[in-house]
Amino acid sequence: MSRIGKLPISIPQGVKINVTDKNVVTVKGPMGELSQSVDPCITVNVNDDSIVLERHTEQLRHKSLHGTYRALLANMVKGVSTGFRVEHELVGVGYRATANGNVLDLSLGYSHNVIFELPTDIKIETTAVKGKNPTIILVGKDKQLLGQISAKLRSLRKPEPYKGKGIKFLNEQIRRKAGKSAGK
């Protein structure tokens, strides 16, 4: 049996789970509502305080889907109850970020500012403290969407290995390379 798939998902206080006959799971909580369609080979059983997923056969495809859907549903439950948070740090001279609603204005050393529009599900906050690098904080209920937006934001200026300049995750260690060494 799948090690991940057999684990029950505990349901926190204030979270409601609804499973339709077409295997669509809807999770409602304080942060909002998320839904996910589940493959028909996986059965979703909702108890009073937990969700248990079961598969019908021992086929390799069904085993892999068992763990995948369990992880997706666990992320949905956590997302609607507490939410997810990703922090980025801007490293570089003159790199700045300002947020106006769901529009992020980035100054990343290009000849123009980069305007990055975010979905309405993602909340954004920017901080700029003197003596520290500017930070961008993304908060949302959907882990998949948050990860996708975070990766897109990072791709605007990836951290380079020589000076470490770019958009990186907070507390991320960048593998540094030595520059050119002097000739003989």
154 and 126 within one domain? yes
Kindly indicate the confidence band of residue 2, based on its pLDDT and cuts at 50, 70 and 90.
Answer: low
Looking at residue 130, what DSSP letter applies? T
Residues 105 and 91: their CA atoms lie apart, in Å, by 16
Whether 133 maps to a domain, the answer reads: yes
* pLDDT one-digit tens code per residue, 79-116: 999 999 999 999 999 999 999 999 999 999 999 999 99
Phi, psi values for residue 51, rounded to 5°: -120, 135
CA torsion sign for 148, 151, 155, 157 is positive
Domain that residue 13 falls in: 9-81
**Nearest of 122, 45, 40, 19 to residue 79 by alpha carbon:** 122
pLDDT of residue 183: 60
Query: What is the pTM (predicted TM-score) of this model?
Result: 0.87
Residue 117 lies in a domain: yes
